[in-house]
Amino acid sequence: MFEGKPLTPTDEAERLRLFISRISDYAIYMLGPDGTVASWNAGAQRFKGYAPDEIIGQHFSRFYTDEDRAAGVPVEALRRAREEGKFEAEGWRVRKDGSRFWAHVVIDPVTNEAGELIGFAKITRDITDKRAAQLALKESEERFRMLVQGVTDYAIYMLSPTGEVTNWNAGARRIKGYDDDEVIGTHFSRFYTEEERARGTPVKALAEATANGRYEAEGWRVRKDGTRFWAHVVIDAIRTDAGDLAGFAKITRDITERRKAAQELEKAREAMFQSQKLEAIGKLTGGVAHDFNNLLSVVTNGLDLLRHSVKDAAALNLIGSMEKAAQRGASLTNQLLTFARQQPVTPEPRELNRVITAFESVLRRATRSSIKFDLHLHGHLPTVLIDVALFEAALLNLVVNANDATLDGGSILVATHVSDLNAHEIGNLPAGRYVVVSVQDTGSGMSEEVISRAVEPFFTTKAVGKGTGLGLSQVYGMVQQSGGELKITSQLAQGTTVSMYFPISSEEPIQDSLPPPSDKVLVVDDQPDVLEMASEMFRTLGFQVVTATSGRQALEILARTNDVHLMFSDVVMPGLSGVELGMKAKEISPKTRVLLASGYTASAGNVQGFEFVSKPYRIADILKKLRLLG
């Protein structure tokens, strides 16, 4: 038809059309921009069954299954071809007679010289035979599945080369909790923890098995219900006779109990070693402290006798300095005896919330005003047997340590709660219920090495002259003498939590842990020196004093107790002013009287009904206002 003549563009287009129309192994046809069929070749007619006049002008989505149309697959295919320059996929397609075939599809966008979309070129190939071969392979794998189905102690299953599960045995169902239809065809990475998936462990496992023929490891895996188990895993690469990778055989065994037993044995060994080490140190320090106390007794008694026989003032001053040094030495030996559990104790049944509340003002004074100090006390605690004096000394030691480790702007929290423990969950404690008192800070934290030595006498990370290294050892000894245990958890730059565990007693608690009944005053001021001065003034007047460095802290104290008789607050404070604090205080505790103070005389007119005293004030000024308050 074109022989002997130069081809015009029209002739070339016609020649290409004829060429495409006669191809019978591929369905090659054009779509309009909206997806309607614009041309139809012999291949399309052969394996889709439609004549050109039956299909041209119809939307190409009619070749898709009902499920794919409902899911928007045809629209998505055109979108991806238009935006990505090409769409390629495999899936089921439907012939005119309703039968299905497995198709490989390529869609390319067609644009004019101006770059405008004028349609799509679509090529479809019937690869049902290839799909049948894949199904045959799956059937072969199914026979393998039947072979190993009876094994229940091991999860034995196959993976495709890309990691999809292709079969599933009874052991896999028992260990991992999935039925066959829930897991076959999904990627085996679903059994890994989120952390392992993020690290790419599943991909690395298949890569190692591919490269070396085998991968073996232990680690956490996840069951269907979300619980974890410790697994021993072996992955073997399976290859064809030609050496091509056909997939992987994967064997998983649940060894959680074996690992737990090994860990408990190791934990018991470590606990025994630590206990023996501290016991040995305790015996040594206890013996040394006992002998040193005897020597100090000679020194202190001798100094006492000298004081009565010496009249020279300079000599008396020297004796006084020596007595102070001897008293300091006696204090250190008492701390050593506490660590060695040789310090005399007088345990009494106590409710620790009451003890801590009575001691709160001392704890607050032990912390800098630039550090937030809070108490979180758990309801009503069961009774424990403790020596109150030793407990208070231990708690103060922990708060002082936390204060030293915490930068300005940090926080310290003293908290209590009740914990039910399994045997040896904390140290060597037996199973049971325990009252837990913890001191948590946001300070510099400790390394694992420091934690392991923290309770040893004289061990300290502080600078020379900044600490004796006996604070935590004294706490440890007190807790041990009370039948409890000490736990330290810490991370560098993230803070430390020291928890004291005390066994619960069935005795009724002594109710005199709080100071003798007296009016309690809450003194609030953001200036530490003013706060301390005011506190001492009210103590002189016989008040039980509780302090707060901010309005927020004062409200927390009021919400926690119902026996504050008087609140004495500065008016001008950052955040919550004294007037705002007074109004909120009356809502929380209507019986609490409010007295405000300020150095600004203008504040007197804005106290909204509260009694007011101007700074500087004297005790007489305070007494006068108290008589007015009644």
Range of the domain at 91: 9-126
- How many residues comprise the chain? 630
Instruction: Please compute the mean of the pLDDT values over residues 474-501 and round it to a whole number.
Output: 88
The answer on 144 and 37 residing in a single domain is no
Among 232, 254, 276, residue at a domain's last position: 254
Cβ neighbors of 221 (< 8 A, separation 6 or more) are 176, 191, 192, 193, 228, 229, 230, 231, 233, 252
Are 393 and 464 within 8 A, CB to CB?
A: no
The answer on 420 and 317 residing in a single domain is no
Matching residue, tokens 């600490």: 467
The answer on 478 and 460 residing in a single domain is yes
In a domain? residue 240: yes
pTM confidence score: 0.39
SS in 3 state form for 357-369?
A: HHHHHHHHHCCCC
Name the band, by pLDDT with cuts 50, 70 and 90, for residue 247: very high
Report the CATH number that the domain containing residue 78 is assigned in CATH: 3.30.450.20
Name the band, by pLDDT with cuts 50, 70 and 90, for residue 386: confident
Chain centroid to CA 283: 39
In a domain? residue 514: no
The answer on 367 and 484 residing in a single domain is yes
pLDDT in tens, 157-194: 889 999 999 988 888 888 999 998 999 999 999 999 99
Specify the 3-state DSSP secondary structure of 433.
Answer: strand
The answer on 490 and 357 residing in a single domain is yes
Q: Which of 361-365, 508-512, 568-572 has the highest mean pLDDT?
A: 568-572
pLDDT in tens, 24-75: 678 889 999 999 999 998 888 888 899 999 999 999 999 999 999 999 999 9
In a domain? residue 509: no
The answer on 581 and 549 residing in a single domain is yes
pLDDT in tens, 293-303: 555 666 666 77
Q: Residue 44: is it exposed, middle or buried by C-beta count within 10 angstroms (0-12/13-18/19+)? A: buried
The answer on 490 and 615 residing in a single domain is no
**Domains held by the chain: number:** 5
The answer on 424 and 318 residing in a single domain is no
Residue 22 pLDDT? 57
In degrees, to the nearest 5, what angle opens at C-alpha 422 toward C-alphas 419 and 428?
100
Report the CATH number that the domain containing residue 463 is assigned in CATH: 3.30.565.10
Among 207, 232, 254, residue at a domain's last position: 254
The CA distances from residue 159 to 26, 46, 629, in Å, are 33, 37, 83
pLDDT in tens, 189-212: 999 999 999 999 999 999 999 999
In a domain? residue 510: no
**How many distinct helices (H) and strands (E) make up the chain?**
20, 20
What percentage of the chain has pLDDT greater than the value 70?
Answer: 77
In a domain? residue 515: no
Cα four-point dihedral sign 410, 416, 417, 419: positive
Cβ neighbors of 625 (< 8 A, separation 6 or more) are 595, 611, 613
Q: Which of 142-151, 232-241, 257-266 has the lowest mean pLDDT?
A: 142-151
In a domain? residue 564: yes
Are 257 and 263 within 8 A, CB to CB?
A: no
pLDDT of residue 7 exceeding 60, the answer is: no
Q: Which of 368-372, 461-465, 527-531 has the lowest mean pLDDT?
A: 461-465
